[in-house]
A = this chain, B = another copy of it.
């Protein structure tokens, strides 16, 4: 009898999360051992309800479109499983005779994944459990980087460059751009690329270094006065000297984490009121994880590869691991995959190295050495005629 597999998505999607699904499905179809391919409809919710989608006979042409479909094509959720939920999870796995379970997510999902694996061992269930990494926040430990980050970083870098050109070509206001990433500054750091690609002044604020708002305003005033336009990029989770977020939406997500947001509007309000300058706050928000035209090709390929690798590892009998990425950056970028124990990655948050933040508002070359290969090729050269 063949093997049945189940894939589920957990938490917020990335622009390439469906590429990992495509990788799992295409690898499963290429392997004769696999009988049925299931996906959980809306992640843990679907598993708890026994609501699975049968992907076994979905046409190959539809599966191929996953490579260019943003968000979760099978649905995701933010439900944090409690101890009371796990027996129900196992019930579904038994009911559908699942042999291999793949959970595609971030820190919280790897915790879930780890618990399912431990429970299956305890109950002598013949189940392989493999975590597939995914988070635009890039805050999973052990892996060099996370699928989804390269595309979010490319979005941040190019959007910031495009806004910077708008700001320097019509320098009538300070433009403030807010980017996602919760408590991790990885994505926002990529926006500092705007200083490398354009002639505009750029100041960047990450959540890892508390912001002295008085100094921030003084730097903004000085930067704008140079007359080359000014772009300020802030992470949604940026904090003041008191350690509290500059802005607070007052909303808590399904995992109990505070939802940040409004930092750019807060800074803009201060610029207008305290400095008397014009200012605009822009917040593409979820677009930063959903935009297909800004996807990094390297990220797309790696997201696909971790899906394939997960399927192959499970069929070889591995269980209790997350697929992780090892990267080399010299003489040119390349990566390979390996298995990291789930209990080592669950609930650990990899912060942006504070030493890569210079004077509180610039990003060190070390970050760009790390991140540029992940953002993909084809950085634009702009025509700047007004110098």
Contacts and interface: CB of A to CB of B under 8 A. Distances in A.
Interface string A261-297: 1100100000010000010111111110111111000
A77 B251 contact: no
Contacts of A63: 383
Interface in A129-146: none
Given A13-B170, A65-B382, A385-B74, A163 B290 contact: yes
A290 B63 CA distance: 33
A168 interface: yes
Interface string A64-82: 1110111111111110000
A302 to B, nearest CB: 19
A272 B13 CA distance: 23
A287 B285 CA distance: 12
Given A70-B162, A71-B170, A380-B292, A286 B175 contact: yes
A287 B383 contact: no
Interface in A10-63: 12-13, 18, 39, 41-42, 53, 55, 58, 62-63
The number of times this chain is found in the oligomer is 2
Contacts of A175: 286
A158 interface: yes
Given A13-B166, A290-B163, A380-B68, A75 B386 contact: yes
Contact of A42 (B251, B383, B386): B386
Contact of A58 (B42, B172, B385): B385
Interface string A159-187: 10011011011111001000000000000
Q: Could you say which of A251, A253, A285 has the most chain B C-beta atoms within 10 Å of its C-beta?
A: A285
A62 B285 contact: no
B170 A75 contact: yes
A84 interface: no
B290 A166 contact: yes
A294 B162 CA distance: 12
A254 interface: yes
Nearest to A175: B286
A352 B125 CA distance: 62
A384 interface: yes
Which 10 pairs of residues, A with B, have the shortest CB-CB distance?
A293-B293, A282-B285, A65-B383, A71-B165, A72-B169, A71-B169, A162-B290, A71-B166, A69-B382, A75-B386
Interface of A: 12-13, 18, 39, 41-42, 53, 55, 58, 62-66, 68-78, 158-159, 162-163, 165-166, 168-172, 175, 250-251, 253-254, 259, 261-262, 265, 272, 278, 280-287, 289-294, 380-386
Given A165-B290, A251-B278, 12 more contacts: A13-B166, A42-B171, A62-B385, A63-B383, A70-B382, A71-B170, A158-B292, A162-B292, A259-B280, A261-B280, A282-B286, A291-B293
